[in-house]
Structure 1
Amino acid sequence: MGNLIIRNAHIKDGEAQKDIKIIDGKIVEIAARIQNDNNLEEIDAKGNAVLPTLIESHIHPDKAFLEDRKPNLSGTLEEALKNTAELKKLYTYDDVKKRAEKVLRWSVLNGTTIMRAHPDVDPFEKTLGVEVLLDLKEKYKEVLDMQIVAFPQEGIIQSPGVLEMMEESIKMGADVVGGCPYSERTMEDTIKQLNIVFDLAEKYNLPIDMHADFGTNADDPQNTCIELICDMTIERGYQGRVAIGHVTTLGSLDPEVAAPIFDKIAKADVSIVPLPVTDMFMTGRTERKNIPRGMAPVLSMMERGVNLAYSSNNIRNAFTPFGNADLIAVGYLLQVSQQMGSADQRRAVLDMVTYNAAKAIGVRDTYGIEVGKNADIVIYDCDDLSNLINDQPLVRYVIKNGKIIVQNELSRKMASVLMGD
């Protein structure tokens, strides 16, 4: 745990710069000027923007960097699942670790120190992804807090043995129960899977994080499960403990049909996590003109009180042949695709990858630029939060538990060239 004073931090647009004092990895004081009575290390933010470190609330490190091995030529979900299943049969521990570790390192360098990872648990990969990520969680614990989801990519009902593998994963140390209701063959089996997921979560008192409603056809009952999930959440008393990724089908509903559904999501306190790069790349493939954005309608949901985060999802594989674990870059795509152009809306996108994401994965008690919270802080080379995503700025410092873990500064020589000195 580190001790540190950050000088001249821009914490909120329209407010004066503040100093932040950190003792034993916790923020203990935020004020206009803090005396350094104990000769603590200091860094000067120089009026630059300061945020709590970013949160990858939905990412698959075990499947990263597979695109060059078997490209998804059609760009469809069906081919992505097929190609990835074939590659998973060839996985080894060292291969999965090498690829996943690269994602973790890139994430930290880009200002992310909290992650919810979704390794597959299925007949091909079995529990290998969970095993690898548990080992990496321990290895990187000084710089990255990781939650691990037991994610049944290939379904539970249609894949005998997966339920037992999920339970084994939980006993090994997985933190979250995953679900993928659209992976089953019938709507009846989809409902069975949802009940199993809630039963398993209740048995081990764990949160739930599902992939659901990933499509654009609102007439497909297997891709319109959100209301059913919300009803189950309320019936089971699981409000505030359920997150759902994708939910792109909501973007295909007429506003008057969608509004009461958004209200139900807010009532159930279910967090929605759009995945802009994957969602926009994979959806709308059957359309020939006016191809839809293929995302959950962020602004409309926000207006109805739904908690929204966003995340990278996949890095360079059959589902998403792009990405470098840079959440600020993903936020740029989100704000453009969702037409979030005002200063307040652009700041709301930052909230989606910080405070909203903290709520989505259940870490609000320890997270934020507030006295008493963990000193997990990122400092950017910009001075305006409303334009931070537009600027795509240099990450100057990443601080974890009060310790500087990443530092990037322009050299004095380069700075003099840029300033014309």
Structure 2
Amino acid sequence: MGKLTIKLKICVLLVAILIGVASLCVSIVVVNERNTDRDMFNRTKVLLNNGIYMANGLDFSELDQYTYSVVNLSGKVLYSNDLKSPVGEQMELKMLSGMSKGDIASDDMIYSTPFIRNDVQVGTIYVSVPYSLVSDKHVSVYVIMAFIIIYIISTIFLLIRLMFKDILEPISMIHKVTNSIRDGHFQDRLYYDYDGEIGTLCHDFEGLRSDLEYSTENEKKLKEKEKLLMAYISHDLRTPIATISGYVEGIHNDIVKGDRVHEYTSIILKKIGMLNSLIDDILEHSQAQLHEFEIKKCECYSRKYFDEIMIEAKQDVDKKGLTFSYSQIPDVLINIDEKRIRQVMQNLLGNAMKFTNEGQISVNYKVENDYLLIAVRDTGIGIAAIDIPMVFGEFYRGEKARTLNVQGSGLGLSISKYIVEQHGGRIECDSILDQWTEIQFSISI
């Protein structure tokens, strides 16, 4: 049976069980028939014992309630109340043999016993007793056997259902879904809600399929992001490198002389700063993706910490000719990575200045539900409603930013989101196109 499938093995096992049950039933019937005949004969013997004793004394009054005949050894009827066998009739001896077990056709039990006279058998007494007087009145063994057979058949049916519904069907489903996964299709799900070991196996398999689907989709997205990253790196590095190359070539070939050398080197240093900033963003983004972004928290008071950031920001905003304001900073104890939260503020304020040509930039602070909320608002180009859900995604740059050729890696807000979430907070964006943009984040206190 080693080469048979589970289904065939089950069928062979069930056939073997049925054959065994049938053999058992036949054996019970045969043994029961033998025991029934013997029991009926014994009951008949007990029933007629007194009447036979009296008949051997030629008193047949006890046997008159039955049909009887007394036949001598030559087959002549000596005494009888049977109309079919009157006294004096000669009966054939071959008809008298083998009748002690009964005549089924007449529903009578024919009992035979020697007729004794002077201690010598001179004939045979035949008494016909109705089966109803000597048959067993208890529940027939056939009824019991019928109940047993029904029970066995019901058990086999339930066993078949268990095998096919709760074992073979789930295995078939797992096989189907496995083939789909092997072909790269993860949409086929495994639906099986029964309890027990098979149900647990199916639920675990479905969890494995779901994790594998997520990993595969995540790998695809990661590859797409890698392609996008290379495209952005190529684009954002090409411009400053070309600028640096042009200015260095001009200095090298003595095209630029005198005071203009200082001007050119200043521009070169500025472009190098842009390259360093871009490389830092890419590195930090990679660390965030690999969960290797280092967060070192320490306790500090919010007013002193953010006051320093606001003073620096005001100088930068004033240089661009914009108005800068901020609300009173609550003085609460916060547990933060000072370097990383400063990086978040610089990203938000830098974006606000980058996309605002006129108007103002404001920062609002408030405490709400055990959180310090910081909102940076500008009156710049705004963000289209359709783009707002994507602003914290990697490499996001709105349509207007691309149109205006605004420099940047598109990683600042993604990194900021990661930092804020590592501090147990949330970051959100709200904006109206061509009017204003506000980005708010929270820090637990």
Q: TM over 0.5, yes or no? A: no
Higher relative contact order (CA 8 A, sep 6+): 1
TM-score by length of 2: 0.15
| Greater Cα radius of gyration, structure 1 or 2 | 2
TM-score by length of 1: 0.16
